[in-house]
Amino acid sequence: MFAIEVINLRKTYGKVVAVDDVSFKVKKGEIFGFLGVNGAGKTTTINMITGLLQKDSGTIKILNHDPEEAWEYVKNRINVSTAYYPLSDALTIRQNLRIYAKIYGVKNVEQKIMSLMQQFELSHLADRKVADLSSGERTRTALCKGLINDPEVLFLDECTVGLDPDIAEKTRRIIKNYQQKSGCTILFTSHYMYEVEELCDRIAFMDKGKIIKIATADKLKKAIKKHTIEITVKSRAEELKNFLMLEQMNILLAEDNTIIFEVTCERDKIYKILNKIFTKGFLLSDLHIKKPTLDDIFIKIARGRK
Give residue limits of the domains in the chain. Answer: 2-221, 226-304
Do residues 58 and 6 lie in contact, with contact meaning Cβ atoms separated by under 8 Å? yes
User: Alpha-carbon distance 131 to 89, whole Å?
Assistant: 4
In this structure, CATH architecture of domain 2-221: 3-Layer(aba) Sandwich (3.40)
Q: List the CATH code of the domain at 226-304.
A: 3.30.70.120
pTM for the model stands at 0.84
Give the residue from 73, 72, 53 showing the smallest Cα distance to 63.
73
C-alpha atoms less than 13 angstroms from C-alpha of 44 in its C-beta half-sphere: 25
Tens-level pLDDT at each residue, the chain (306 residues): 899 999 999 999 999 999 999 999 999 999 999 998 888 899 999 999 999 899 999 999 999 999 999 998 999 999 999 877 678 999 999 999 999 999 999 999 999 999 999 999 999 999 999 999 998 899 899 999 999 999 999 999 888 888 889 888 988 999 999 999 999 999 999 888 989 999 999 999 998 999 988 999 988 888 777 889 999 999 999 999 999 999 999 999 999 999 999 998 776 788 899 999 999 999 999 999 988 888 888 877 766 654
C-alpha atoms less than 13 angstroms from C-alpha of 54 in its C-beta half-sphere: 2
